[in-house]
Amino acid sequence: MKPPPFDYLAPSSLEEALDVLAEKGGEAKLLAGGQSLVPVLNFRLAQPALLVDLNRIAELDYIDVDEAGAVRIGAMTRQRALERDPRIAASAPLLAETMPLIAHPQIRNRGTIGGSLAHADPAGELPVAAVALDGEIVLRGRRGERTVAAADFFVGLMTTAMTEDEMLCELRLPATPKRTGWSFREIARRHGDYAHAGVAARMTLADDGTIARARLVYLSAGEVPLSATAATGVLDGGAPCEELFAEAASTARGEVDPSDDIHATAEFKKHLAEVLTRRALAAAWERARAAQR
């Protein structure tokens, strides 16, 4: 179908965009890559009076990595740019591993990191990766700037902590601790489709080889990216081995809360989550050990 009529503005600076938001916040919708918003408009599931196109705001398109390895990514950075950037592969390898799982190249050429985070689809990979990486999201509005932990940013189904006069401007990722391994695993019917189940795993080893801190975050396991804290409680302080990973995976199976859909039952998705958790933990451990050497 065709989108309903709307007015359109394409500000060329962040300041200009924030002015428009301050004035028209309630009736305006921000257009980033458009890979989720435009289908919603084409289906007429939303009828905003005004679209504010952010694609002309060059100052929101950047990747910065400091000497310590902390990463700052501008909201309008294309997913494809993150996929190809060697600094992301070096400093945020979990994010690099996530990118090819997101839809198809044609979508990633347009899709942005900020748009995907703001859209807050629980089936999306980027919200999961942002939480797993202890990311922080920078919001700006005419009333000022604030930073929200990714874990607190997603508050419900496609709902975030952002107010209507605020704009998501940046994702910050702290430097990866030493002896840290990672893995993003998902199972989809076809490469690039929405996954039945998926997990981002991270594991930091202590000097004695035990697990100092583990992170397990799931997609399509509830209304927001789901952190399996009982499962990571099993792992933290433990000596990594297949049996421990199996116990954590079985615990995680009890924490995820997927829904039935036409392709798979919730029970099957829980099974997939358990299997993927075991595999992701084994891969993360392998990488953490390699990083130790």
Partner 1 sequence: MSRHSVSTEVNGRLYEREVDARLLLSDFLRHELGLTGTHVGCEHGVCGACTVLLDGEPVRSCLIFAVQADGRKLATVEGLASSPDELHPLQQAFRDAHGLQCGFCTAGILMTMVPFLEENPAPTETQVREALSGNLCRCTGYQHIVDAVLLAAERRA
The contact set with partner 1 (CB under 8 A) reads 1-8, 10, 34-35, 38-39, 41-43, 51, 53, 55, 80, 103-107, 109-110, 190-193
Residue 106 or 229 with smaller CB distance to partner 1: 106
Q: How far is the CB of 60 from partner 1 (least distance, A)?
A: 16
Pairing of strands 154-156, 71-74: unpaired
CB nearer to partner 1: give 185 or 253.
185
| Nearest residue (CB) to partner 1, 63 versus 107 | 107
CB of 33 to partner 1, least distance (A): 8
| Distance of closest approach, residue 169 Cβ to partner 1, in angstroms | 21
- On the 0-12 / 13-18 / 19+ scale of CB atoms within 10 A, 50 is middle
Q: Measured from the CB of residue 172, what is the shortest distance to partner 1 in angstroms?
A: 27
Q: Which is nearer to partner 1, 49 or 290 (CB)?
A: 49
Nearer to partner 1, 192 or 209 (CB): 192
Q: What's the min distance (Å) between Cβ of 168 and partner 1?
A: 20
Closer of 24 and 289 to partner 1 (Cβ) = 24
166-173 vs 136-141, strand pairing mode: antiparallel
State the minimum distance, in angstroms, from the CB of residue 163 to partner 1: 26
Which of residues 3 and 25 has its CB atom nearest to partner 1 in the complex? 3
The whole-angstrom separation of Cα 168 and Cα 88 is 20
Q: Are strands 50-53 and 159-160 parallel, antiparallel or unpaired?
A: unpaired
| Residue closer to partner 1, measured from CB, 107 or 161 | 107
Rounded least distance, CB 103 to partner 1, Å: 7
Residue 195 CB, shortest distance to partner 1, in Å, is 13
DSSP string, the chain: --PPP-EEE--SSHHHHHHHHHHHTTTEEEESS-TTHHHHHHTTS---SEEEE-TT-GGG--EEE-TT--EEEETT-BHHHHHH-HHHHHH-HHHHHHGGGSS-HHHHTT-BHHHHHHHT-TT-HHHHHHHHTT-EEEEEETTEEEEEEHHHHEEETTEES--TTEEEEEEEEPPPPSSEEEEEEEEESSTTSPEEEEEEEEEEE-TTSSEEEEEEEEESSSSSPEE-HHHHHHHTTSPP-HHHHHHHHHHHHHH------SS--HHHHHHHHHHHHHHHHHHHHHHHHHHH-
